[in-house]
């Protein structure tokens, strides 16, 4: 069986998760062949990874860059934050690229696995021309909503505009019998009962796989020495690709800095755009870390991982942290509820506020954790070998319908 993954990019949260599934199949599912076709290819170390841009032989790289520039201009300058008909149409349903015409889609694939495909699949033509079995992973809420990735924040007031597109989405999914893979029970229920986009027999819940030979418990003292972190202090960790992303909730942690510093608690921060973080001897800005082994050592070096996201589909960083034996403090998002058992591998805060987060951090530091037990259970649950079988079984189920 040939599995083709379509993802706008191979980087970021959704793109990275798509590549994890692709690599999981490559490494641990010899009964299937897996390839990935993206628009923007950033990684070179992933096998069987292709860019659809390479198939546009009649266009030079400069012409493609000009198309990208026009796309950027439309999305970020002209239509930025304009959640209206044209804004939603452009961001979620229109694309210059037409993967339905690509040979990997037309000729090679037996099953097409969609991931985050905004600005990639062209809705008016993709679902009409593609007659292969389709599976769609819920990296956010986009697959089962009218286009909104999440529900809170600035999205809430534009829900009506997004919902105008929901019937269009439902019709495309129903006619083509698209099958969903939810990353959490919360999103599974929403897709079926609230948005009514997927039928129960057309959706399942499956965790994202993890390379547990990389994300595992490392010696904490050696890791702190390697990272030049102080040995004999309590350290909490925050990880985000872009610290400024409001959904990730860094502001809730920031409001507690002075209180944490008074208790001589140190804070390690991983991510881009850390210039606005105050300079303090208890703050350790580690910058953006892309290497998985380095990330695993950071999780192993700290006492608690804090992820105050206000909305999270799954949270790969939570998976990584508990696989390294580090307890997690989080708000009650879909992703946290799917992974954290309060008092067993972390703390779920009672509400989304700076005060509740501080209480959660205090509770984490007053709890005696078995890091070995936390790591062992995560290793068993997210092991890529077992996850590969789950995905293959679901592909087979889809093909047999």
Verify that 188 and 237 share a domain, yes or no. no
**Tens digit of pLDDT for each residue in 44-57?**
789 999 999 888 77
Residues 115 and 257 in one domain: no
Residue 183 has what pLDDT? 92
Residue 43 lies in a domain: yes
CA 307, CA 237: separation in Å to the nearest integer?
8
pLDDT, residue 381, reads 96
| pLDDT mean over 107-127 | 94
pLDDT in tens, 170-203: 988 988 899 999 999 999 999 999 999 999 999 9
Residue 100's domain is classified under what CATH number?
Answer: 3.40.50
Claim to verify: residue 294 and residue 194 sit in the same structural domain:
no
Query: Does residue 350 fall inside a structural domain?
Result: yes
Contact 31, 1 (CB under 8 A): yes
Same domain, 234 and 196: no
Q: What pLDDT score was predicted for residue 290?
A: 86
pLDDT in tens, 122-167: 988 999 999 999 999 999 999 999 999 999 877 778 888 888 889 8
**pLDDT at residue number 267:** 96
What average pLDDT score do residues 371-393 get?
A: 97
359 within a domain of the structure (yes/no): yes
Same domain, yes or no, for 231 and 196?
Answer: no
Number of C-beta neighbours around residue 303 at 10 A: 19
Domain harbouring 376, CATH code: 3.40.50.2000
SS3 for the chain, per residue? CEEEEEEEECCHHHHHHHHHHHHHHHHHCCCCEEEEEEEECCCCCCCCEEEHHHHCCCCCHHHHHHHHHHHHHHHHHHCCCCCCHHHHHHHHHCCCCCHHHCHHHHHHCCEEEECCCCCCCCHHHHHHHCCCCEEEEECCCHHHCCCCCCCCHHHHHHHHHHHCCHHHHHHHHHHCCCEEEECCHHHHHHHHHHCCCCCHHHEEECCCCECCCCCCCCCHHHHHHHHCCCCCCEEEEEEEEECCCHHHCHHHHHCCHHHHHHCCEEEEEEEECCCCCCCCCCEEEEECCCCHHHHHHHHHHCCEEEECCCCCCCCHHHHHHHHCCCCEEECCCHHHHHHCCECCCEEECCCCCHHHHHHHHHHHHHCCCCHHHHHHHHHHHHEHHHHHHHHHHHHHHHHHC
Query: Residue 232: is its pLDDT beyond 80?
Result: yes
Asked if the model's pLDDT at residue 96 lies above 80, the reply is: yes
* Tokens 């199949």 found at: 25
Three-state secondary structure of 185-206? HHHHHHHHHHCCCCCHHHEEEC
pLDDT at 18: 97
pLDDT of residue 242: 86
305 lies in some domain? yes
Which residues on neighbouring strands pair with residue 180, listed in sequence order?
A: 136, 203
| Same-domain check for residues 228 and 203 | no
Report the range of poorest mean pLDDT among 77-81, 247-251, 397-401.
77-81
CA distance 67 to 179: 32
Residue 275: which pLDDT band, with cuts at 50, 70 and 90?
A: confident
Per the structure, how many domains does the chain have? Answer: 2
Taking all residues of the chain, what is their mean pLDDT, rounded to a whole number? 92
Residue 85 has pLDDT above 90, yes or no: no
Beta-strand relationship, 33-40 and 2-9: parallel
* pLDDT of 22 over the 90 cut: yes
Same structural domain for residues 85 and 127? yes
pLDDT digits (tens, 9 = 90+) for 303-343: 999 999 999 999 999 999 999 999 999 999 999 999 999 99
Q: How far apart are the first and last CA of the chain?
A: 15
Specify the pLDDT at position 42.
85
Pair (118, 235) in one structural domain: no
Residues 249 and 191 in one domain: no
Residue 268 within any structural domain of the chain: yes
- Residue 364 belongs to what domain range? 220-382
CA distance 325 to 345: 8
**pLDDT at 73 exceeding the cut of 90:** no
Q: Tell whether 215 is covered by a domain.
A: no
Query: Which of 269, 301, 299 has its CA nearest to residue 287?
Result: 269
Which two tokens mark 262? 């008074």
d(CA 322, CA 342): 13
Q: Do 140 and 264 fall within a single domain?
A: no
Task: Judge if 34 and 182 occupy the same domain.
Answer: yes
Share of the chain above pLDDT 70, in %: 98
Least confident of 64-73, 144-153, 255-264: 64-73
| Residues 307 and 13: beta-carbon distance below 8 Å | no
pLDDT for residue 43: 81
Q: Which two tokens stand for residue 177?
A: 């019998």
The pLDDT of residue 56 is 78
User: Is residue 214 included in any domain, yes or no?
Assistant: no
Claim to verify: residue 63 and residue 201 sit in the same structural domain: yes
CA angle 149, 392, 335 (to 5 degrees): 30
């Amino acid at each position: 069986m040939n599995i083709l993954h379509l993802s706008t990019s191979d980087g970021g949260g959704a793109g990275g998760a798509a590549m994890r599934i692709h690599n999981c199949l490559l490494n641990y599912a010899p009964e299937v062949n897996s390839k990935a076709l993206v628009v923007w290819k950033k990684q070179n170390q992933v096998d069987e990874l292709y860019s659809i841009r390479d198939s546009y032989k009649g266009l030079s790289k400069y012409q493609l860059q000009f198309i990208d520039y026009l796309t950027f201009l439309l999305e970020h300058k002209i239509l930025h934050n304009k959640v209206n008909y044209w804004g939603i149409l452009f961001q979620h349903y229109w694309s210059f690229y037409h993967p339905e015409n690509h040979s990997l889609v037309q000729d090679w694939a037996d099953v097409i696995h969609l991931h985050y495909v905004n600005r990639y699949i062209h809705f008016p033509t993709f679902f009409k021309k593609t007659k292969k079995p389709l599976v769609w992973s819920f990296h956010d809420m986009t697959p089962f909503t009218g286009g909104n990735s999440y529900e809170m924040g600035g999205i809430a007031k534009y829900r009506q505009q997004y919902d105008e597109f929901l019937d269009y989405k439902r019709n495309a999914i129903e006619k083509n019998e698209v099958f969903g893979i939810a990353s959490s029970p919360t999103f599974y229920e929403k897709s079926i009962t609230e948005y009514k986009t997927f039928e129960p027999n057309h959706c399942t819940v499956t965790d994202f796989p993890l390379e547990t030979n990389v994300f595992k418990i490392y010696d904490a003292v050696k890791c702190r020495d390697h990272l030049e972190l102080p040995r004999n202090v309590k350290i909490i960790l925050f990880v985000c690709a872009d610290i400024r992303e409001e959904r990730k909730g860094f502001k809730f942690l920031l409001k507690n800095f002075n209180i944490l510093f008074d208790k001589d608690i140190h804070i390690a921060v991983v991510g881009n755009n850390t210039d606005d973080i105050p300079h303090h001897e208890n703050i350790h800005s580690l910058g953006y870390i892309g290497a998985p082994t380095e990330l695993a050592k950071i999780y192993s070096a700290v006492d608690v991982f804090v992820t105050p996201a206000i909305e999270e589909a799954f949270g790969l960083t939570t998976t990584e942290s508990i696989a390294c034996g580090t307890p997690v403090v989080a708000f009650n998002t879909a992703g946290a509820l799917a992974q954290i058992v309060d008092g067993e591998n972390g703390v779920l805060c009672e509400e989304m506020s700076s005060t509740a987060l501080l209480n959660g951090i205090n509770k984490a530091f007053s709890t005696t954790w078995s890091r070995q037990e936390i790591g062992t259970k995560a290793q068993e649950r997210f092991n890529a070998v077992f996850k590969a079988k789950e995905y293959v079984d679901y592909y087979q189920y889809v093909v047999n319908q």
